[in-house]
Amino acid sequence: MKKLLTVFALAVTTSLLVSAAVAGPLYRLIKTVPLGAPDRWDYVVYESGRVYVAHGDRVTVLDGQSGARIGEVEGLPGGPHGIAVVDGKGYTDDGKAGTAVVFDLNTFKPLKTLKAEPDADGIVYDQTSRHVFVIDGDSGKLTVIAPKSDTVVATIDAGGGLEFGVSGENGKFYVDGAEKNELVRIDTATNTVDAHWALAGCLKPHGLAIDRSNHRLFASCANKVMAIVNADTGAMVASLPIGEGTDFAVFDPVRHRAFSSNRDGSLSVIAETSGDKFEALTPIKTPIGARTMAIDPQSGRLFLVTGEYAVNEAVPASDVRHRYTVKPGSAKLLIFAPAK
């Protein structure tokens, strides 16, 4: 009897972690928008009906409904990564130059260049402090910009290489400490680090999303797990399986789902049934290489970027990063919508 109860308990636990019983696809691909050359891409940002794509030496701006190209922010030879939109201005970076660039949202012309740090990468606006945070990845620092004056007001040393960050909109800012497998919390009033939280079982967190209503952080990790953390205490709440090659995570506050976009051609979906209960739903199939994304939280639309790939048969299929090579001029934006 004890053995039967143990088996039953394991079955129940497994069903809570991974659910394959979702009838039909959760999301469907509704539009593919060609971007063309350059073939490099990085972050995608959705803001006020527009989609901003870090694309080669520029930021390509598209209409979030039709996919029509609205404009380009050019003159970023070292490659842009993050994008933020604040008070009628846009912010991006030149990662190689270690600079942040302010641009006009109507003309898309650069307005000002600010010194950041080498490997300027993700960019996030914090509404509480009304500051823009530039995450200088390999430098392990954050450059803090005041949009009112477009000046750098602080540089924060986080103590190790970083990936992406999110605002708690409560005086706290959270960043993936990829080098040390941790989350770093920043007090936005003082621009100082006030916590380092180890992510047990998570290697190299890349994506980071937040559920502000339930105070939960979702860190997507290179070892194919999503670590879910209490945003107040840093305590680990849950760890669930995701695909390989994650580079970004988002949270849908309307449908209570967290997502990890993965290089292996999967979009992992984690359902939040309560603040402490989560389950991994059937992944959404995407083209290989669609590793970054953005979300329109109202419609639930997801925006991903990838390209067409040639396969190098000499490289093992498990090595997704090196097995596939992007075909020139094939970059494209993918728009997925909730099926129901």
Question: Two tokens at 113?
Answer: 């260049």
Closest by Cα among 92, 104, 6 to 52? 92
**What's the pLDDT tens digit per position in 141-192?**
999 999 999 999 999 999 999 999 999 999 999 999 999 999 999 999 999 9
Give every CB contact of residue 301 below 8 A, 6+ residues apart in sequence: 46, 64, 295, 335, 336, 337, 338
**Length of the chain measured in residues:** 340
Does position 324 have pLDDT exceeding 90, yes or no? no
Question: For residues 18 and 271, what is the distance between their CA atoms, to the nearest angstrom?
Answer: 10
Q: Is the pLDDT of residue 22 over 70?
A: no
> For residue 273, how many other CB atoms are within 10 A of its CB?
10
- Pick the more confident residue, 13 or 282: 282
- pTM of the entire predicted model: 0.91
For residue 260, pLDDT beyond 90: yes
Using an 8 Å Cβ cutoff, are 118 and 162 in contact?
Answer: no
Identify which of 64, 68, 40, 69 has the alpha carbon closest to the alpha carbon of residue 54: 40
